[in-house]
Amino acid sequence: MKPARYLGGEAGSVVKDPDQVRLSLALVFPETYEIGMSHLGLKVLYEALAPRPEVAAERVFMPWVDLLDLMVQNGEPPWALESGRPLGAFDVVGFSLGYELIYTNALLLLKLAGIPLRRAERGPEHPLVIAGGSAMVNPEPLADFLDLAVVGEAEELIHELVDLLIQAKEEGWDRPTLYRRAMAIPGVYAPALFEPVYAEGRLREIKALDPDRPRVRRRVVADLSAHRPPLNRVCPVVSPVHDRVGLEVARGCTRGCRYCQAGMIYRPVRERDPDAVAAWIEAALAATGFEEVSLLSLSTGDYQGLPWLLPCLMDRLVPRRVSLSLPSLRADTLTPEMMAQIQRVRQTGLTIAPEAGSERLHALAELSLERLRLRAQLPHAHGERAQREGRGCPFRVADASGPQARARFEKRAPGEPLQTLPQLGWGGGDERPQLVQGGRARADGALAGREQRAQRLPLGAEPRKGAGRSLEDDAGGPLGVESIRLQPSPPALARGRSTSSTRSPRAQRKRAKPAP
């Protein structure tokens, strides 16, 4: 249990007198505190609305199962962290929905708050229910539950919508009037003004009931540099998933990979000015005291200002002992200069995305990464000592001279008959990659669990048999993505044993016995 999740009172949070504001808005992220406090979109909204004295924007998160059971038993509604006000007492309940799996969480929070789920069952005494986020590029699955949906990016739209909601509250508009007026804002969708048309059980058309509002266009922010990014104003009291300063340097991606939703919905590509990025990072560090900075984008290596920004940032971060991480890199953008810079403070992390191990999968997903270029670029992830000794898989460095790297692959695709990982060609013809979990060798090709590490075994070696499904056995299954950490294998692991040297420092400390 982590009771601090539900207390609020964090440094940087903004509490306003409800009697002195014109509109109260609950910013609801239907996930736990640790995940919600890492979400960039929620930070954007909070820092955009906090300076407005007439608006009280307060955060609400999904409780963990321990508290959730008690809330259900005792009829306790969800509450905001800033004021403790119950969710049903707000003028507007705004959900931030980044993916479909949290739709049921959003409905459960409405139910716990005593708010009718369906739009048709709510009256003027109930809060207005709206939703935004990347999942709202297709709002139809929640159309019966929402009054309004925000389609697209919110930096500019949020202020236009809040001004309209204040006017609607003070002038006493009814809901149909509000829906029609809200639809005049580009990027706002009112499901009540559209009617789905079905034929033989299939959705054939979404018919506009108002001829003046026939369609909704996704809202796009043209100039990212014109909008200050969130600078982590609120310092969380429980360590979030991403416990660092995260600053978005670019939005969108030029690659056009077929499976990537974000690459499609955040088009076109826009970049922030590197001078402004450096200044914002210094301001964020001064306000929060974090010890790590992360440059965020769909493909950070494609950011045009990175060659100048990286050494400039490191010159400022090294005296403070603040590290820098690059969480999204394509293998063909990795350079020795980049690796040398991020190692200047301490070992940090970067995520490399080869995505597929075979050229067939690259073509299937329209990936623009060729195997020859992949093999030429990945050795840059080596530490200097590992390269001199000629050992190790090129994805993860197992000594102190290099950063922690992670490679992300598509696990399988329909019609893919063979394992794709060996086709990368990493080392020699007498070795093959071996997937293991938890420091123990698994059956060749077995994948079980969220993170596996690839070991290099001689072709004659026999790994311990283990549970799990092989890529060959699952050929033809649905497309999956597997996040795989790769590192060289010590001899003991090649024989199927775990050693203390392969455990993480934290695991070694836990297993260490106290001195007599």
pLDDT (tens digit, 9 = 90+) per residue, 435-467? 333 333 333 333 333 333 333 333 334 434 433
Q: 73 and 196: one domain?
A: yes
What is the C-alpha separation between 196 and 229, in angstroms, rounded?
38
Q: 111 and 52: one domain?
A: yes
pLDDT (tens digit, 9 = 90+) per residue, 391-427? 333 333 333 344 455 555 555 555 555 454 444 444 4
Q: 201 and 107: one domain?
A: yes
pLDDT (tens digit, 9 = 90+) per residue, 64-104? 998 999 999 999 999 999 999 999 999 999 999 999 999 99
Q: 274 and 149: one domain?
A: no
> What is the extent of the structural domain holding 155?
3-208
Place of tokens 């005792």: 74
- Burial (CB < 10 A; 0-12, 13-18, 19+), residue 51, is exposed
Domain annotation covers residue 277:
yes
Q: 46 and 129: one domain?
A: yes
Domain annotation covers residue 333:
yes
With H, G, I as helix, E, B as strand and everything else as coil, classify residue 373: helix
What confidence score (pLDDT) does residue 263 get?
83
To the question of pTM greater than 0.75 for the whole model, the response is no
Domain annotation covers residue 365:
yes
DSSP character at residue 137: G
Q: 312 and 412: one domain?
A: yes
| Residue that is last in its domain, among 190, 208, 226 | 208
Q: 385 and 254: one domain?
A: yes
Q: 198 and 247: one domain?
A: no
Q: 266 and 190: one domain?
A: no
State both tokens at 138.
Answer: 């297709």
Domain annotation covers residue 250:
yes
CATH of the domain at 359: 3.30.750.210
pLDDT (tens digit, 9 = 90+) per residue, 193-243? 999 898 888 888 889 998 888 889 999 999 988 898 988 678 888 888 888
Please determine, for residue 272, whether its predicted confidence score (pLDDT) is greater than 50. Answer: yes
Number of domains in the chain: 2
CATH of the domain at 53: 3.40.50.280
What confidence score (pLDDT) does residue 434 get?
38
Domain annotation covers residue 467:
no
Across 45-189, the runs of DSSP E, i.e. the strands, are: 55-61, 92-96, 128-132, 148-150, 188-189
pLDDT (tens digit, 9 = 90+) per residue, 302-329? 899 999 999 999 999 998 889 888 877 7
Domain annotation covers residue 291:
yes
Q: 20 and 129: one domain?
A: yes
What's the order of all strands across the beta sheet hosting 128-132?
A: 55-61, 23-29, 92-96, 128-132, 148-150, 188-189
Domain annotation covers residue 436:
no
Q: Please measure the distance between the N-terminal and C-terminal CA atoms of the chain and give it in whole angstroms.
A: 33
Q: 124 and 260: one domain?
A: no
Domain annotation covers residue 224:
no
Q: 201 and 311: one domain?
A: no
